[in-house]
Chain A
Amino acid sequence: MRPEILAYIAVMALVTYLIRLLPLTLIRRKITNRYIRSFLYYVPYATLSAMTFPAILSSTGSMFSAALGFAAALFLAFRGKSLLLVAVCASAVVLVCELLLPLLPL
C-alpha cells in the first residue's frame, strides 16, 4: 500500500466522517422550534424520493427493465411488503426482463 494513496484516503475519510459526526455532537437535545422540527420530519422523504427518481431509471441495463422494476417495487410497497422482499423482487423483475428482452423479435 503506497503512502501517498493512504494520505488521499485519510483526507477523504476524515472530511466525510466529520460531516456525519458534527450534527450528532452539536444537536444534543430535541429541537423545539416548530418550523425546524417540521423540516427535519420531512427531510427523509424528500431526500429518498429525490435520490430514487429519476436515478432509478438508469440503474439497470435499459430504461425499459428499470421502469418495470420501478413499477414492481411501487406495487409491492403499496401492498406493505418488507424492504428485503421489495428489493429482491425489483431485482428479479429486472433480471427476468433483461434475460427475455433479447429474445423478443423487436
Chain B
Amino acid sequence: MTILPITEFAILPELEASRIVPRTAPRRKADIRTDASWVRRVVISIAVIFLGIFIVLPLVCVFALAFSKGVETYFAALRDPDTLAAVRLTLLVAAISVASNVGFGVVAAWAITKFEFRGKNLLITLIDLPFSVSPVIAGLVFILLFGLQGYFGPWLVAHGYKIIFALPGIALATIFVTFPFVIRELVPLMQQQGTEEEEAALSLGASGRRTFFWVTLPNVRWALLYGVLLCNARAMGEFGAVSVVSGHVRGETNTMPLHIEALYDGYQVAAAFAVASLLALLALVTLVLKIVLEARLAQE
C-alpha cells in the first residue's frame, strides 16, 4: 500500500467533513512554549538524528555511489541504450497513468461532489481500494486476467494481442496503483467549494460543459496539479506491480526501477545507482514543486 497524502488527509473521507487538502492553514510560527531548554535540545536532537540516519543518509548514499566510479562512468551509464529505453518507457507509462487518472478524477469528482446520492460512501471506499493493495498483488491480478493461465489469456494470445509482458500490461498495473491519487485531491476541495458557482453559471445560461471548463476547473487547478504531481511521482517509481507483469526484457519492457534492479543484479552497481540518482532527483523536484503548490493553495 502506498499512500501519498502530503499533509492532512483521510483514507475514507467523510463526505461532509472530509478534507484531503494540502496544508492551507497559514503555518503558525513555532510556539515557543515553556519547555525546559534541555528538553528542547533532547527532542530536537532525537528528531534530527532520526531523520538524518533514516532519510538523509540513504539519499546521500545514492548520489555518492552513483559517482563512485567517476563522472565518466556516470554519464556512460545514463547514455546506455537500455537506460534510455527504460527512461522512455517510464515517461510513457507515467504519462498514460496521469492522463487516465486525471480524466477519471475530474469526471468522478464531478459526480461525487456536485450531486447527492445514496451509496456515495461506498463509491469512495471502492475508489480508495487500490491504496490498500500490495503492489505485488496489483500485478498479480492482471496476470490472472490476461496471462495465458488467466481468464482472457487464451483469447488474447490467439488473436495476437499482447497485454502481459508488454506496454499495455505495465500501463494497466500502474494505472491501478495510482488510481485514487488525483481524485483524492479534488474531492475535498470541490466539496468545500460547493455548487453555488456552478449553479450561478448555469442559471446565467451557460451549458454544462462550459460551466465545467470555465468555472469548476479553474477553481481546482492547483489541487489538480497537486494530484498530478503525486500521481506522476508514484507512477514513475512503481516497482512491485510492474515487476510482476513485465517480461523484464532489457531495452523493451524494463521501466527505470526495473532497469535499476537489472543493473544491480548484473554486477553493475555504480550504473544502477546512476540511474537511481535520476529518480532521486525526480523525488527532490517533486518535493520542491509540492511546497510551491501548497503555497499557491494557501494563497487562494
A and B: bona fide binding partners:
no
